[in-house]
């Protein structure tokens, strides 16, 4: 029963990732001529990313507090690496959220914006996977 639920969740997660990628490509391809819309879109991604990171940190802190002190000491390095990743992501997202105040004078700036947002999405995905790993480690 548990194995079947895992398979369903795995398929659901893959489908969700495919849908997110298709949505982002559709939005960027639809708005690629309107730089202001793309700047607004990217700024929104970074603002949402900050919210997601803070929520993931809260979930992880709850998982850490659930464990015994011995387990916390055993997994201390994992937790510290995770928190370092999350704080780095918050700084990354804050830096990305100021893009709306930059003047876009040519396509190179736009390319930098898009690459920065893709890196941000990659970091958010990494954070989600690491949070899943922390939750799994909590209940081992």
Residue ranges of the domains in the chain?
1-30, 34-138
Burial of 82 (0-12, 13-18, 19+ CB in 10 A): buried
- The rounded percent of the chain whose pLDDT value lies above 70 is 93
pLDDT in tens, 12-54: 877 887 888 888 788 777 777 777 777 777 788 888 888 888 8
pLDDT in tens, 43-93: 888 888 888 888 888 888 888 888 888 888 888 888 888 888 888 888 888
Looking at residue 1, what is its pLDDT? 47
CB contact at 8 A, 135 and 59:
yes
pTM: predicted TM-score of the whole model, two decimal places: 0.68
Q: Which two tokens stand for residue 139?
A: 């209940």
């Amino acid at each position: 029963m548990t194995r079947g639920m895992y398979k369903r969740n795995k398929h659901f997660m893959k489908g969700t990732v495919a849908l997110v990628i298709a949505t982002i490509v559709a939005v960027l391809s639809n708005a690629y001529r309107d730089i202001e819309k793309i700047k607004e879109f990217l700024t929104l991604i970074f603002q949402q990313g900050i919210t997601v990171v803070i929520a993931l940190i809260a979930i992880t802190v709850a998982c850490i507090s659930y464990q015994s002190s011995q387990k916390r000491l055993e997994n201390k390095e994992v937790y510290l690496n995770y928190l370092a990743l999350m704080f780095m992501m918050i700084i990354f997202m804050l830096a990305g959220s100021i893009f709306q105040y930059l003047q876009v004078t040519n396509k190179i700036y736009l390319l930098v914006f898009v690459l920065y947002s893709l890196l941000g999405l990659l970091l958010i995905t990494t954070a989600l996977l690491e949070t899943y790993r922390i939750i799994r480690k909590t209940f081992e």
